[in-house]
Amino acid sequence: MKRFIIAITGASGTVYGLRLIEELFKNSELIVILSESAIHVMKTETEIKSFDEFEKKFSYKNIKIFHENEISAPPASGSYRTDGMFIVPCSMKTLSAIAHGYADNLITRAADVTIKEGRPLVISPREMPLSVIHLENMLKLAKIGVIIVPPQPAFYHKPEKIDDIVNFVVGKILDCMGVENNLFRRWE
């Protein structure tokens, strides 16, 4: 069974992170890290209103949940083996910290470890617009192999509801990590 880290930060698009967890936990061991700001955004975007509610919703034996302040948790070490990390959504604060090696919490430390160990890191930045600073930080990360996947939907699959758009974006995120999925109708 593969083991992935999923971090959710305080940016719009927490529904993508939640859907990613729902898809991956079926066949993978997951380490989920939440920032304090992610909980605040989830309160606005979803039915989840607290860290405790999140833990109850995702209380499965193959999911371990950590708060960003738990800096000594297993994903903070390179000796803790994973098959890669997702940060969905990724705030510009988190993206900047990773781009500049500022590992001050469990999310940025786990990303730093993922990069130094040569494991795949997929980052889905928050919604637009993006400044030159944001784009330069993304370019810096892309040059070292981080996969940047903006949550931009396509419309060739003729989405009929929001779930169709969410599934398309999450399917593309999974594709970037090489995880098989059938979340959207592919171009033929």
Q: What is the pLDDT of residue 146?
A: 98
Sorted by where each begins, the domain ranges of the chain are 2-177
What is the 3-state composition of the chain as percent helix, strand, coil, each rounded to the nearest 5? 40, 15, 40
What does the pLDDT look like over 128-137, one tens digit per residue? 999 999 999 9
The CATH T-level fold of domain 2-177 is Rossmann fold (3.40.50)
Q: What is the pLDDT of residue 188?
A: 81
Rounded to two decimals, what is the model's pTM? 0.97
Q: Where are the beta strands (DSSP E) in the chain?
A: 2-8, 28-34, 63-67, 85-90, 121-125, 147-148
Q: How would residue 24 be classed by pLDDT, with cut points 50, 70 and 90?
A: very high
Whole-number mean pLDDT of the chain? 97
